[in-house]
Amino acid sequence: MKRPVRFRVNGRPVTLDTEADRTLLWALRGDLELTGTKYGCGAGICGACTVVVGGKAVRSCQASLKDVEGKDVVTVEGLARDGTLHPLQQAFVDHGAFQCGYCTPGMLMNAYALLAESPRPSPEAIAVGMEDNLCRCGAHKRILAAIAAASKEGARP
């Protein structure tokens, strides 16, 4: 049954008149045309669809609109401010921490939540925190280096 579902995406209030049990991933990609968030496996295994909800990394293919009602959702499109890349994004660019780029939004959002929780993680903690995000191109080494570099600069909330 349709009803208004309210939440905030990248700081902006959003109201969707829709079924609240719909999956967040498809609402983001479809209704809101925020296609930076990717489908990878549909089972919460690969992490390509990761967004940040209330400061926590969430697999948007496993979350419903009901789960985010009244909450703050941040997607990859919300990281840069006024054309300036977020330190994490800049570190990914500087370290070449991507190849095909398809897993990159999920990697960035998972790392964003990781640094929000623990601003100065050890290299081991970064690797553990990123363990459940999959990359097929093999950019792992550079992703870890980029996150470590961004953490040194201090993560912006």
Partner 1 sequence: MSTGAEMDRRSFIELLGGGILVIVSLGPDALLGQERRRGYPTDVNAYLRIGEDGRVTVFSGKIEMGQGVMTSLAQMLAEDLGVPLESIDMVMGDTDRCPWDMGTFGSLTTRMFGPALRTAGAEARAVLLQLASEQLGLPTDRLVAANGIVSVKDDPSHKITYGQLAKGQAITRTLDRKAVLRSVSEFTVIGQSPQRLDARDKVTGAAKYAGDVRLPGLLHARLLRPPAHGAKLVKADTAAAAVRPGVVVVNEPDLVAVLHADPEAAAAALERVKAEWTPAPPGADQEGIFDELLAKAPAPEVKDTRGILDGGPAPGARRFEHTYQKGYVAHSPIEPHAAVATFEKGKLTVWASTQTPFPLHDRLAPMLGLDPKNVRVITPYVGGGFGGKSAGRQAEEAARLAKVTGRPVQVAFTRAEEFFYDTFDPASVVKIVSAVDETGRITLWDYDVYFAGDRAAELFYDVPNARRRVFGGWMGDGSSPHRFAVGPWRAPGANMNVWARESQIDVMAAAARIDPLEFRLRNTRDERMRRCLQEAARTFGWTAATGPSGRGWGVACGVDSGSYAALMAEVKVDRPRGTVKVERVVCAQDMGVVVNPAGATMQIEGCITMGLGYVLSEEVLFRGGQLVTENYDRYELPRFSWLPRAIETVLVKNDEIAPQGGGEPAIVPMGGVVSNAVFDATGARLFRLPMTPARLKAALDGKT
Interior angle at CA 49, CA 45 and CA 95, nearest 5 = 95
26 counts as binding partner 1 under rule CB under 8 A: yes
Minimum distance of partner 1 from residue 155's CB (angstroms): 15
Q: Are 106 and 47 in contact (CB under 8 A)?
A: yes
Among 62, 102, 116, 148, binds partner 1 (CB under 8 A): 102
Among 50, 60, 104, 151, binds partner 1 (CB under 8 A): 104
Minimum distance of partner 1 from residue 145's CB (angstroms): 11
108 counts as binding partner 1 under rule CB under 8 A: yes
In angstroms, the CA 37 to CA 106 distance is 7
46 counts as binding partner 1 under rule CB under 8 A: yes
Name the 3-class secondary structure at 154: coil
Q: Which of residues 59-88 bind partner 1 (CB under 8 A)?
A: 75-77, 79-80, 85
Burial class (CB in 10 A: 0-12, 13-18, 19+), 3: exposed
Q: Are 140 and 134 in contact (CB under 8 A)?
A: no
99 counts as binding partner 1 under rule CB under 8 A: yes
33 counts as binding partner 1 under rule CB under 8 A: yes
Beta carbon nearer to partner 1, 7 or 40: 40
